[in-house]
Structures are given as C-alpha cells and as structure tokens.
Amino acid sequence: MGRLHTELSRLYLSPAAEDGSAVDESRLFTTNGLTRSLVLGLTRPADWDAMSRVWQGVQADLELPAPAIAVCGAEGYQLWFSLAQAVTVAQAQGFLELLRLRYLSAVAPRRITLWPAQSGHTRLVPALQADTGQWSAFVSSDLAAVFADDPSLDLPPGEDNQADLLSRLKSIQPGELQAALELLQPAATPPATSAPSVVTTHTQQDPRGFLLTVMNDASVPLVLRIEAAKALLPLPATRSNE
C-alpha cells in the first residue's frame, strides 16, 4: 500500500479486511453502516470565499482540526472531515446541517451537498472524472482560491503530494465533536420578558401608580421605563390668552 492509500485509510476509511480490501468508496462505510468521513460540498459556481468561511470557522470557532480541501470539477469545492470514531448517517447529517446553517445559510441549498446522504454517493479523492476527463484532488488552503474558475486538474495529481497534504491532518476526537455540536446548537428561545406580567399585575392601579411601578421595575425593558418616566413629567405650563 502506497503513502496516499495509507493516509486515506488513516483518515477516512474503515479498517481493511484481512483479505486486503481495496482503497475505494466501499470502505467509506463500516460493515455496521457507520462512517468516519463527512463531506460538505459547494457546487459551481465555485466560491472559495464562501467555502473558506466554513474551513476557517470550524477551526477558529469550534476548535476542530482542519478538514481537507478538495476540488472536484462540476461538484466544485469539498471539505472532507475525518472522525476518529465512526458515527451513524443521522449523526453525520446532523453535524453537517448545523455547519451549513452556521456558515452557509446565505447560499442556496441546491448548491450544497452533504455526505453521507440517504441517497447519492461520493467518490474518493483524487479520482478521474469520466464525464470531463479531469481529475479531482486535495489542495492546500493557500492554493484553493486559484481553482475558482476551474476546480479540477488536467492531469492526475502526484500521489506523494496528495499524501503530504493529508499527512498534516488530524481526525476529530469524540470529545471535540461533542463540544462542537453543543456550540452549533441554535440559541434557545429567550423567555418572554416580564413586562407583560407587570402590566397584568398593575393595570388595576391608578395610572400614576402604574407608571411609577413600571419606571422602577428593573426587569422591565429600559425603553418602556423611559417612556413611563416621560409620562410622569409635569406638563409644560401654558400661557392663557390675554
């Protein structure tokens, strides 16, 4: 097994069987239907500015290892996440969907691919694309933007170069994944403010007493307390007509 196959197996594939399983898409799942590979793709028009928000965000915001960056022709850019411990398809989809909502909510959903999916498949990188004759490949972050016009290679990428890129990557540990999921959860809906309860409690008071209660209640939004204070100010004296 060459260096590239070794790195692909280390990061993305299920263990090889004793009979020497090939390094192909069949090993993206374990025999129990679990996967260590999570792929988020952004189809053409290739937009590295958008995809880089995900690549940078998972590191800066979620403190996760950097995913691999791939250029895949008609499929645009892909980010390949490696898990140290395989998860179910539902868990993988949940994580990727949260990433989409956090970083790509402004992008049309039809341009985004999440794998594993209930239908469809993904191909290992690098690979020859039969429809175009071009090659997919892993690329470094400083070169990713270069492929915006044509996210593919004319020639097969060098295996040693691909292995070098992957060798610098790490798998996401279970604790890191759990912490990231907690950070990605949508913020809980804030409880209703106490202002309505103040109104309900004090509407039976005289108007001046009600306004005083609102003005002095620290739990009432400041803007309402200011309006109550204004209402309590004495009216300006008017001059009688002479």
- In angstroms, the CA 174 to CA 178 distance is 6
Residue 165 CA, chain-centre distance (Å), reads: 23
What local confidence, expressed as pLDDT, does residue 186 receive?
82
Between 3-12, 72-81, 223-232, the lowest mean confidence (pLDDT) is in 223-232
Q: State pLDDT tens for residues 9-47.
A: 999 998 864 445 567 788 899 889 999 999 999 998 879
Query: Average pLDDT in the 87-109 region?
Result: 96
**Does 43 or 164 have the greater pLDDT score?**
164
8 Å CB contact between 57 and 69? no
Question: What is the per-residue pLDDT for 200?
Answer: 39
What is residue 187's predicted lDDT score, i.e. its pLDDT?
A: 67
Q: What is the mean pLDDT of the chain?
A: 83
Higher pLDDT: 29 or 201? It is 29
Least confident of 56-70, 102-116, 175-189: 175-189
In order of start, what are the domains of the chain with their CATH numbers?
Answer: 3-184 (3.90.920), 195-232 (no CATH)
In whole angstroms, give the CA distance from residue 151 to residue 156: 13
Report the predicted TM-score, pTM, of the whole model to 2 decimal places: 0.75
* For residue 201, pLDDT beyond 70: no
> Which one has a higher pLDDT value, 160 or 118?
160
Edge-to-edge strands, sheet with 137-139: 112-115, 35-42, 77-87, 68-71, 137-139
* Mean pLDDT calculated for residue range 75-96: 96
* pLDDT score at 148: 87
